[in-house]
Structure 1
Amino acid sequence: MTMKMFVGIASTGRSTIIEAALQRIAGQTRPADRVLVCTPDNEEYAVDEAAFGLPITHMKYRKGSCSQRNAILDTLASESGILLIIDDDFLLHPSYLARLEELATRHADVALFNGTILKDGIIGPGLSVGEADAILSGHRMDTGAPPRIADRASAYGCNMAIRLEHSRSVRFDENLPLYGWQEDVDFSCRLSRFGRIVETSAVSGVHLGVKHGRTSGVRFGYSQVINPIYLARKRTMRLGHVLNIVARNVLMNTLRSTRPEPYIDRRGRLKGNILAARDFIRGRIDPLRVLQIE
């Protein structure tokens, strides 16, 4: 029996980027059975879906990466198969869905697959669609050798293929609002009760790392500190990892606040770090507090 393959995209304020992602989904050698796009309920959606020839379902829901992804999962609650959740600026290699289907059929013990990121624009100023296409077209899969599959403690959220049968009782934590910093770690930790979390070389893509449409520097800086501490209390993030990620981000924001990169609001992030540290000292560990910060 053929496995159903779904693609889900949660997006905010980036219609042009969604179109680039949809074009690469339309170019898959194994067509998606359904593509679900969720945008905020207070935002205009201006994508010409008919231009892609895809079975697209568009929905509107409360703004936030976690809440929008949950709306997609809820829509597929009665379905079986694989849901590939991608960021709206993640461009798939043409063979992604075909090879993912083969892999998921052979490895029934896996609950979540992470594909290989050929280049991640989030590290740096970001990539253009043209640069990403050049990387994708130049990448050749070695079909003769078995793909690498490595177990991971957590997933990276820009491309996560979830086995829907295992996600019936697992949802993204909507207490992590807006960008949902570290929501992928929390979600994959809870999903790991049902199967392995793996990274594989069998499927790949490019993450543009588009900067516009993201959370403000102050808000993001607040989440950089509070969200990991909150997840440590939930026991979905190891304390050592929390200390490492918080210390690294605060140190980087401090060191680069005097000469920040033009594409990162280091001073805003540092201010958010300080606000979060104050709340932590006062015993206020609530990621939703970020919504009160301008």
Structure 2
Amino acid sequence: MKVAIVIASVGRPQELARWADHCRRQTLTPCEIVFSIASDADLPAGFHDNTVTVLRGPKGSSHQRNSGLNALTSAPDVVAFFDDDYVPSRRCLEGIARVFEAHPELVGTTGRLLADGIHSAGIDFETASAMIARFDAEDAAPNLVLNETLGTYGCNMAFRWSVVKDVRFDERLPLYAWQEDVDFSRRLRDHGVVARTEAFVGVHQGVKGGRTAGQKFGYSQIANPLYLIRKGTMPARDALWLMTRNMASNHAKAFRPEPWIDRKGRAEGNWRALKDLVTGRLQPERILEF
């Protein structure tokens, strides 16, 4: 099976450049590697690797991932999307290929994380690499069992190309495009199974650089779930739980925030979105105006 890789990245040149080495370590060589960036500053000066296609285009996770999909020329069997700060095991792509081979009904999947730094100060590369080295040393056969999930997790997800080649990420979700991964995978459920698997494994560092500003992200925490309710790709119960949980966290921690999160900015963004909801102006794209 041929597996292509698309990585959308902004503001993390060091993490993105490491992916050339990650791919060389794989037991299954990717048929194509695409780095989709917004500017030359998103890669180290002088970066060149003839195994990587580098695209430059509009900033935003959905835009950049779509650019990557549009650029694929190898007719892969599977396309995998990874965050730039995801560190894969050496059998990651092999596991992806094997789980899709084993389950013809599978159209989208997300893998197992040994650790996720997104809810902490983050995991440094040396620590993440050590965790992966210990896992790889066990050399265990991939676990091909599928487990139910409501959607894929954007830092590590893979899709059957025959299903997604004409599907694109929603570009009405701008910049960080919060919940675009869930929206994309839920639109595929009429075509087959979307599930979690332990067939491929990695560590998500949760690097804090290159993320959306607090007020913008806070606005998206309200605007994006409500938009997806209207679109029909997020149940109202799930959306209301997301919004309530995030608003509660932002306000409870606003005066003693984690050093890596702008809680006050997020809370302000939450209220700005609610004001726009009442006045009929609420749209995900509004974050581009402030």
Decide: shared fold, TM above 0.5. Answer: yes
Report what 1:99 is aligned to.
95
Report what 2:24 is aligned to.
26
Matches of 2:250 and 2:226 in 1, distance apart? 18
Report what 2:176 is aligned to.
179
Contact 2:13/2:42 (8 A) holds in 1: no
Secondary structure, in 3 states, of the residue corresponding to 2:121?
coil
**1:201-227, CA deviations, whole angstroms, 9 ceiling, x for partnerless residues?**
111100010001111011011101110
Query: Residues 146 and 38 (structure 1 numbering): CA distance in 2 closer, same or farther, change over 3 Å?
Result: closer
1:12 aligns with 2:10: yes
Matches of 1:15 and 1:188 in 2, distance apart? 28
Aligned partner of 2:205 among 203, 208, 226: 208
Kindly provide the amino acid, as one letter, of the partner of residue 275 in structure 1. R
Contact 2:32/2:74 (8 A) holds in 1: no
Structure 1 vs Structure 2 CA RMSD = 1.7
Kindly provide the amino acid, as one letter, of the partner of residue 109 in structure 1. E
Deviation at 1:236, TM superposition (A): 0.4
Equivalent pairs, count: 288
Contact 2:86/2:204 (8 A) holds in 1: yes
Matches of 2:201 and 2:218 in 1, distance apart? 30
Aligned partner of 2:192 among 189, 192, 195: 195
**1:127-159, CA deviations, whole angstroms, 9 ceiling, x for partnerless residues?**
10001011111113532x853311212111111
TM-score (norm. length: structure 1): 0.93
Aligned partner of 1:66 among 52, 62, 65: 62
Deviation at 1:76, TM superposition (A): 2.4
Matches within 5 A, 1:78-157: 79-139=75-135, 140=138, 142-143=140-141, 146-157=143-154
Matches of 2:264 and 2:170 in 1, distance apart? 28
Question: Percent identity over the alignment?
Answer: 37
Contact 1:19/1:47 (8 A) holds in 2: no
Report what 1:276 is aligned to.
273
Query: Residues 214 and 233 (structure 1 numbering): CA distance in 2 closer, same or farther, change over 3 Å?
Result: same
Contact 2:8/2:36 (8 A) holds in 1: yes
Secondary structure, in 3 states, of the residue corresponding to 2:187?
helix
Deviation at 1:121, TM superposition (A): 0.5
Query: Residues 175 and 198 (structure 1 numbering): CA distance in 2 closer, same or farther, change over 3 Å?
Result: same
Secondary structure, in 3 states, of the residue corresponding to 2:68?
helix
Give unpaired runs (5+ residues) of structure 2.
none
Query: Residues 59 and 37 (structure 1 numbering): CA distance in 2 closer, same or farther, change over 3 Å?
Result: same
Contact 2:108/2:160 (8 A) holds in 1: yes
Secondary structure, in 3 states, of the residue corresponding to 2:190?
coil
Matches within 5 A, 1:221-236: 221-236=218-233
